[in-house]
């Protein structure tokens, strides 16, 4: 749920010796198990990575929609209807062509609204599903009643990790995450 090109360019795995960062750079990316306190940030990261920025699925879908066959049909109907409505001398024909132009416009914008509603539905489903309670869904449990955030451990084939950027001076920032859920159970 992060932009891999951004991470590779700005924070290579061996960022201490990368020439771009200098020899004494303090940037590190650590991968670790989720902590209870990470859940809100993970949900925020998920939402922003799905909907914000040029590389997000939402923005990609909205851009692709403008070049889809349905969009070109909408453009044609709008342009043709407008052109013919302005050229027509009969009120009935002008009205008909105006309706055609309006249909082209409304079809384009209704499909964009449908795309947005689909993404909102997907986010809602995710927030009510595995992101509602990440430790429970991915079977991360505390060892013997310990309450420390660091003591969450994987108890099954499922697990959830976060990648955090440590710049050396401040609190590490979560820049990515991944969850692997077991979709089957051994019968042995």
Share of the chain above pLDDT 90, in %: 53
Round to whole Å and give the CA distance between 100 and 79. Answer: 9
pLDDT, tens digit, 9 for 90 and up, residues 130-148: 899 898 888 888 766 555 5
pLDDT, tens digit, 9 for 90 and up, residues 13-49: 444 444 454 544 578 888 988 988 899 999 999 999 9
Q: What is the pTM of this model?
A: 0.69
Neighbours of 38 (CB within 10 A): 21
Rounded mean pLDDT of 91-97? 96
């Amino acid at each position: 749920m992060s932009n891999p090109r951004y991470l590779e360019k700005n924070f290579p795995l061996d960022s201490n010796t990368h020439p771009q960062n200098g020899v004494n750079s303090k940037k590190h990316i650590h991968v670790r198990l989720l902590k209870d306190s990470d859940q809100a940030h993970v949900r925020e990261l998920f939402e922003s990575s799905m909907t914000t920025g040029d590389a997000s699925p939402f923005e990609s879908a909205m851009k692709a929609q403008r070049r889809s066959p349905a969009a070109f049909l909408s453009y044609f109907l709008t342009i043709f209807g407008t052109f013919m409505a302005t050229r027509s001398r009969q009120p009935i024909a002008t009205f008909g062509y105006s309706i055609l132009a309006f249909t082209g416009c409304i079809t384009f914008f209704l499909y964009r609204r449908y795309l947005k509603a689909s993404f909102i539905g997907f986010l809602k489903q995710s927030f009510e599903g595995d992101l509602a309670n990440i430790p429970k869904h991915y079977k991360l449990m505390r060892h013997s009643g310990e309450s420390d955030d660091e003591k969450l451990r994987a108890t099954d084939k499922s697990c959830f990790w976060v990648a955090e950027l440590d710049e050396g001076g401040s609190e590490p920032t979560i820049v990515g995450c991944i969850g692997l859920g077991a979709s089957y159970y051994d019968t042995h």
